Amino acid sequence: MTERLRIALQKKGRLAEDSFKLLRKCGLRFTIRGDGLLARVKNMPIDLLLVRDDDIPSFVANNAADIGIVGENVLVEEQLVSNDKLDANIKMRLGFSKCKLCLASPENNELDNIIKLSNTRIATSYPGVLKKFLDEEKIKAKLVEMKGAVELAPSIGIADSICDLVSSGATLEANGLKVFRTILESEAVLIQSKRSLSAEKGILLKKVFRRIDGVIKSSETKYVMLNAPREKVDEITELLPGSDSPTIVPLAGSDNLVALQAVCTEKILWENLEELKLLGARAILVLPIEKMMS
Ligand code: PRT
Ligand code: ZN
């Protein structure tokens, strides 16, 4: 019987949809039902284990899943608070669910520097990460552990400042709080244990990694086509973010214009296009790339 690879994913929440989308882009076909703990991938020997994000590092470490997708913040916290050393390590950074774990305090109060945290109360859902930070900074403060709604702690009088995740900053602003220090930057990561896998699973896992890598690379990679004055080709090539050796094709009926085509591996901004235009580039097209394999 074919062994099935098991991937632990968040069932519901901020990571869930992007994790499903990533795997679907990798060619995995599956349906998520409301109540199920397992979703079967129809076209590959893979099962998806759908759980709360906090359980993902220990499930990977304890062999309930072979790999998992989780926020780096959760992985680091679980590693710090777990009694045994967790065998769950970052294999790939996935580039979505970016956020920061920050210290923030009520606006207009003098708690605007970590030195001033001594002997104060800090509310957080990340006691492991916060304690490590405070120990490294040699600051003694009281941690008030909360499971959620950490941003309310100062206004209800149970803490002087908070240590919480921030993405847009709107929640902090709505609660009159201001960030004064970032202690961890986070994004979704793919994690794996150091356990060795059967040859069969190993081959399948390599295939999944190669596809994920291809999806991540192709999301920023663009195919650029433009017409350029022949004598400006070198300067124009230098301006194309993350491209090497473009294809240059003569343009029918024009002696001094060429068509240039290149794969750009870095983000292309409007500013890049404006600079290209200043050098004489015309008819600039930036096209998405759906799949890549090198
Ligand atoms: O139920 P389960 O335990 O699986 O989910 P959860 O409720 O613990 O986690 P969830 O779904 O809220 O978040 C999952 C992961 O998404 C986190 O562990 C982070 O890695 C990542 N992430 C990215 C975030 C945010 N952005 C984020 N903004 N997690 C939480 N937030 C919170 C933030 O603390 C604030 O309270 O969202 C609120 C809005 O943020 P602002 O700054 O945009 O206002
Ligand atoms: Zn959670």
**Is residue 4 very low, low, confident or very high in pLDDT (cuts 50, 70, 90)?**
very high
| pLDDT (tens digit per residue) in 99-138 | 999 999 999 787 888 999 999 999 999 999 999 999 999 9
* Mean pLDDT, residues 51-65: 97
Ligand 1 mutation target, pool 18, 147, 166, most atoms within 8 A of CB? 166
Q: Does 171 contact ligand 1 (Cβ within 6 A)? A: yes
The single residue listed with the structure tokens 């090539």 is 237
Whether the Cβ atoms of residue 286 and residue 271 lie closer than 8 Å to each other: no
- Rg (Cα) of the chain, in Å, rounded? 24
Q: What residue owns the CA closest to ligand 1's atom 11?
A: 13
Ligand 1 binding pocket includes 168 (Cβ within 6 Å): yes
Query: Is pLDDT above 80 for 50?
Result: yes
pLDDT, residue 290, reads 86
pLDDT by residue (tens digit) across 10-27? Answer: 999 999 999 999 999 999
- Which ligand does the CA of 52 lie closest to? 1
Residue 84: per-residue pLDDT? 86
Q: Which ligand is nearest to the CA of 104?
A: 1
Name which of 224, 271, 227 is nearest 244 in CA terms: 224
Residue 35: the pLDDT is 84
CA of 241 to the centre of ligand 1 (A): 32
Which atom of ligand 1 lies at the shortest distance from residue 13's CA?
Answer: 11
Instruction: State residue 243's pLDDT score.
Output: 81
Q: Which atom of ligand 1 is nearest to the CA of 53?
A: 4
Enumerate the domain spans of the chain.
5-96+188-218, 99-186, 221-288
- Kindly state the average pLDDT of the residues 268-284: 94
pLDDT exceeds 90 at position 41:
yes
From 12, 167, 183, mutation site for ligand 1 pocket: most ligand atoms within 8 A of C-beta: 167
From the options 3.30.70.360, 3.40.50.300, 3.30.70.120, 3.30.390.50, give the CATH code of 221-288: 3.30.70.120
pLDDT band for position 190 (cuts 50, 70, 90): very high
Residue 52 alpha carbon to ligand 2 centre in Å: 6
| Cβ of 71 below 6 Å from ligand 1 | yes
Task: Confirm whether 99-186 and 221-288 share one CATH topology.
Answer: no
pLDDT value for 254? 85
**Average of pLDDT values for 72-90?**
95
- Whether residue 201 is predicted with pLDDT greater than 90 in this model: the reply is yes
CB 11 within 8 A of CB 54: no
Nearest protein CA to atom 16 of ligand 1, as residue: 14
pLDDT at 83 over 90: no
Q: With 90 as the cut, is the pLDDT of residue 265 above it? A: no
User: Could you tell me what percent of the chain has a pLDDT over 70?
Assistant: 100
Amino acid found at 5: L
Residue 193 CA to ligand 1 center (angstroms) comes to 24
pLDDT higher than threshold 90 for residue 91: yes
Q: What is the mean pLDDT of the chain?
A: 95
Which amino acid is it at 192?
Answer: Q
CA–centroid distance, residue 254 to ligand 2 (Å) = 61
d(CA 68, CA 253): 56
106/291: higher pLDDT: 106
The whole-number pLDDT of residue 158 equals 97
Residue 219 to residue 46: CA distance in whole angstroms: 24
Q: What's the pLDDT at 230?
A: 94
Query: Closest Cα to residue 19, out of 94, 83, 118, 122?
Result: 94
Average pLDDT over residues 79-97: 95
User: What letters, b where the CB count within 10 A reaches 16 and e where it falls short, cover 10-38?
Assistant: bbeebbbebbbebbebbebebeeeeeeee
What's the pLDDT at 146?
97
Span 153-182, mean pLDDT? 97
Is the beta carbon of 148 within 6 A of some atom in ligand 1? no
Which is the CATH superfamily of the domain at 5-96+188-218?
Periplasmic binding protein-like II (3.40.190.10)
Quickly list DSSP for 164-233: EEESSSHHHHHTTEEEEEEEEEE-EEEEE-S----HHHHHHHHHHHHHHHHHHHHHH-EEEEEEEEGGGH
pLDDT band at 177 (very low <50, low <70, confident <90, very high): very high
* CA of 54 relative to ligand 2 center, distance in Å: 5
- pLDDT-wise least confident of 38-42, 118-122, 133-137, 218-222: 218-222
The answer to whether the CB of 165 is under 6 A from ligand 1 is yes
Assigned token pair, 15: 């990571």
Which residues have CB less than 5 Å away from ligand 2 (the ion)? 53-54
What is the number of the ligand closest to the CA of 71?
Answer: 1
Q: Is the CB of 218 under 6 A from ligand 1?
A: no
Query: Given this model, what pLDDT does residue 2 score?
Result: 82
CATH-assigned architecture of domain 99-186: 3-Layer(aba) Sandwich (3.40)
